[in-house]
Structure 1
Amino acid sequence: MQQAAGRSRPVPSLRRSQSRLTADSYCIHRIIEDPEWSLAAVPQLTELCLQHIVHNFTQNPILDRLLPEHQRKVLDRLPTALPLAVTANLVSDEDYWKRCCTERWQVLELIPLCKDYVRKLEVDQFLPPLKVDPEEEADDISDSESDLGLGEVPVHHYDLGALVTALPYLEELHLTYGVKDCGMNFEWNLFKFTYQDCCNLAGAVKKCHKLKVFKLTRSNVDDDKTKLLVRSLLDHPALVELNLSHNLIGDTGAQAVGKLINRSKLETLDLCNNKIHQAGAQALAQALAQNCILTSLNLRLNYLGDEGGEAMGRALLANATLKSIHLGSNMLSEPSAVLLSQVLAQNATLTSINLSCNHIGPDGGKQLLEGLAGNKTLTEFDLRLAEVGQENEFLIGQMLWANRHAARLAPQPQPPAEPL
């Protein structure tokens, strides 16, 4: 009985412990349910550090030492009023400079300050003014009608005339009419280079007398717009490079460009990825045969065919200035290779030819190999996916290597000595 009683003595102590545990649990439970407490009110240490970097960016601009995801957060928070001496050579993010333009500067107001220093203007997207008709907006237009563009009214883009003509020393103009990352806000009007757009641009370019490089790419430029642009560029006093790649230029547009070749100082012409067929190729070839200035011609991703390829070959037999020509992906085959082999045997100025992604074939490869036998100037000859055969491709590669090696060993022309 005594032992039993002795064992029963700790019971009050156990009860007291359970009571304290219950009380503690109750207190913790009350803290969690406190409506004034929130985990969101406690910022992460990383966020505090980024805020400090943004607030002290002028004194300590450490953007290049941050991780990419942290750089993005800092750039999104940087104030647009920061001194240009701090941001100009450090921040290359387009979104930041776009915020600066919209919040801080008016472009036309800056022109008087910088017009003597601007040599290049590059615009990779145009945002047209969107005019919403409340009545049309209320109509329930089906997706199929929207895709067909029914009821769409052409929307003209920003007229560059006032901007471009106010830059007297502009030498390069790179343009793409369209919108990047439009997402669910896609509309065909955003990507239409209208005839009025073309008229405005042609008038502006014609007044840029010092313009050397003009690039208008991925802008749905068709034949009519090409002819309008060409008329503004005829007899241009300074233009040496024209890039109209990735557009909708067909034979009529190519014929207009052919006239431009011999009425300008063009040295580089890029018509890659258009819709030029035989007739357009023949017009370009006729101009090329008479030209003595053009050094680079890119006709990749067109539809020349063998008749167009042969026309280009005959032009190269007469031309003595072109150094590089790209005829890749033009549905060329053995007949074109036969004529180009004659070009290789006679032409002494071409250094680079690209016939990749054509159906030249093994016999055409042999013709090219024979023509290259006496050629000492060609150093690049791209025949990838041209099906010329491994042996022909290997032997042509050996000849090109020999030409490159000889070119490296040849003495370089020295500039004329300055008069004393």
Structure 2
Amino acid sequence: SFYTRRCLTEDPSWSLITVPHLTELCLQHIVHNFEKNPILNYLLPEHQRKVVDRLPTSLPLTVTANIVSHEDYWKRCCLERWQVCEISNYGGSWKRMFFERHLENILEFFVPNTTDPNQVLELIPLCKGYVRKLEINQFLPPVREEQKEEGNDHSDKEDDTELSEVYTHHYNLKDLITALPHLEELHLTYGVKGCGMNFEWSLFNFTERDCSNLAAAVKMCHNLKVFKLTQSKVNDDQTKLLARNLMDHPCLLELDLSHNLIKDHGAQALGKLLSHSRLEILHLCNNQIRHRGAQALAQGLAESSTLTSMNLRLNCVEDKGGEAIGRALLTNTSLKSLHLGSNKLSEPTAAVFSQVLAQNTSLTSINFSCNRLGLVGGKHLLQGLANNKTVTELDLRHAEMEQETDFLIHQIVWANREAVRLGSLQQPTVEPS
């Protein structure tokens, strides 16, 4: 009789269909050994994608930084590390976001004389091609060692001051900034976040050495377009040093020194800078600038052909300063936005700006909020606006004006804004070829 023999597998679930292709086995091997042998660039595009999708985000940056360019990998790195990831702030690049925020994190927690400087220096070759903006919101001072005996509690006050100065120097950015060829924006705040019960005023010192190092670094950063140094107790001497190093900078377009301790002498240095730079935006909000400083800024404004926005909110320029700025605007043709809120301005300033509104054709936004322009000042502004067609924003909140005058001014400004809107709609749109 005919005999048939059946062969059964030891594993009932085994099937020939589940055997991986040789290509798949090779890709698995490449992923497993990627740290030792990163051969990503030698693979076909479709194989590169499969490898990158499986790479762990824990791989050293020395391996992935200059080899892995796929955005999906860096997206995973960002999302695993930070809860909030707004890619639009980084030019739509996840890789740029990762390296900028990674570098910022290292700098914000760098402790001079304690943290190994190689943490920063070794990162430079890996990130220099991707970093375009740095936003550092704190600088930690060195750890202060107790150098006094316990019994010596009554030390000389001058010695304490000298020690405080020595122990508050921060990380020197010069080597880093000059090694980042694509750096365009630098936002700095010299202080400590969340110090809690360990609060000391010395934690918020921007020392002379800090200023000297920073000024030299910014001067050598030739592609820098935006420089912000805020909430750092910057004084007049430091402002002079910074302004001197920013003279004739080839690219700088925006300077923000808001929330500092700048007075008239510092403002005078910035006035000179306006006439020796390509600055388009200047923010000096919440400083201590009075009329002499404002007069110097007005002179720089009169000589500038590039400045489009100036913010002097929360200073004390008073009428002498306000009138000087107004007279500068009779000849200036570049400024579009001016903020003079909370500057103790009154009717004389409004009288000068009545002429400005009648003659100037470049200003589109003016802020006089929280001043004391008064009834007469309001009428001056209304008279100047009679034939003005360019001002589309005029903030007069808390300016102590008559309600009727305020309403009439609002009507004129609204009509200007509506005319601009309709004009933009009537302009023919150019279709891309």
Give the shorter-chain TM-score range: 0.7 to 0.9
How big is each residue's C-alpha offset from its partner over 1:142-172, in whole Å with a ceiling of 9 and x where there is no partner? 9xx89x9696344211100111111011000
* 1:166 paired residue among 179, 183, 190: 179
SS at match of 1:254: helix
How big is each residue's C-alpha offset from its partner over 1:21-64, in whole Å with a ceiling of 9 and x where there is no partner? xxxxxxxxxxxxxxxxxxxxxxxxxxxxxxxxxxxxxxxxxxxx
Give the distance between the partners of 1:331 and 1:407, measured in 2 at CA: 32
Give the distance between the partners of 1:294 and 1:276, measured in 2 at CA: 19
8 Å contact kept, 1:212–1:238: yes
Q: Which residue of 2 aligns with 1:209?
A: 222
8 Å contact kept, 1:149–1:188: no
Equivalence map 1:116-127=2 (5 Å): 116-127=129-140
Aligned residues: 337
**Rg larger for:** 1
Q: Which residue of 1 aligns with 2:267?
A: 254
SS at match of 2:186: strand
8 Å contact kept, 1:221–1:248: yes
8 Å contact kept, 2:326–2:349: yes
Shift of 1:89: 3.7
Shift of 1:99: 12
* 1:393 paired residue among 397, 403, 406: 406
Q: Which residue of 1 aligns with 2:77?
A: 87
* 1:326 paired residue among 333, 339, 349: 339
Equivalence map 1:149-164=2 (5 Å): 152-154=164-166, 155-164=168-177
Q: Which residue of 1 aligns with 2:12?
A: none
Q: Which residue of 1 aligns with 2:255?
A: 242
8 Å contact kept, 2:57–2:77: no
**Percent identity (aligned):** 60
Give the distance between the partners of 1:183 and 1:334, measured in 2 at CA: 46
Give the distance between the partners of 2:349 and 2:360, measured in 1 at CA: 16
* 1:224 paired residue among 213, 233, 237: 237
Give the distance between the partners of 2:103 and 2:299, measured in 1 at CA: 46
Q: Which residue of 1 aligns with 2:329?
A: 316
Q: Which residue of 1 aligns with 2:204?
A: 191
8 Å contact kept, 1:80–1:99: no
Q: Which residue of 2 aligns with 1:356?
A: 369
Shift of 1:116: 1.2
Whichever residue aligns with residue 379 of structure 1, its letter is T
Q: Which residue of 2 aligns with 1:371?
A: 384
Equivalence map 1:120-135=2 (5 Å): 120-135=133-148
Which shows bigger deviation, 82-91 or 171-180? 82-91
Equivalence map 1:4-19=2 (5 Å): none
After superposition, the Cα gap between the structure-2 partners of 1:394 and 1:80, relative to the gap in structure 1 and judged at 3 Å, is same
Shift of 1:92: 2.9
Give the distance between the partners of 1:415 and 1:237, measured in 2 at CA: 34
Give the distance between the partners of 1:91 and 1:151, measured in 2 at CA: 38
Q: Which residue of 2 aligns with 1:179?
A: 192
Give the distance between the partners of 2:265 and 2:131, measured in 1 at CA: 35
Unpaired runs of at least 5, structure 2: 1-55, 60-72, 85-100, 110-114
Q: Which residue of 2 aligns with 1:346?
A: 359
Q: Which residue of 1 aligns with 2:315?
A: 302
After superposition, the Cα gap between the structure-2 partners of 1:208 and 1:150, relative to the gap in structure 1 and judged at 3 Å, is closer
After superposition, the Cα gap between the structure-2 partners of 1:131 and 1:396, relative to the gap in structure 1 and judged at 3 Å, is same
After superposition, the Cα gap between the structure-2 partners of 1:141 and 1:185, relative to the gap in structure 1 and judged at 3 Å, is farther
Whichever residue aligns with residue 337 of structure 1, its letter is A
Whichever residue aligns with residue 296 of structure 1, its letter is S
Shift of 1:86: 2.5
Q: Which residue of 1 aligns with 2:394?
A: 381
Unpaired runs of at least 5, structure 1: 1-78
Whichever residue aligns with residue 92 of structure 1, its letter is W
Shift of 1:140: 4.2
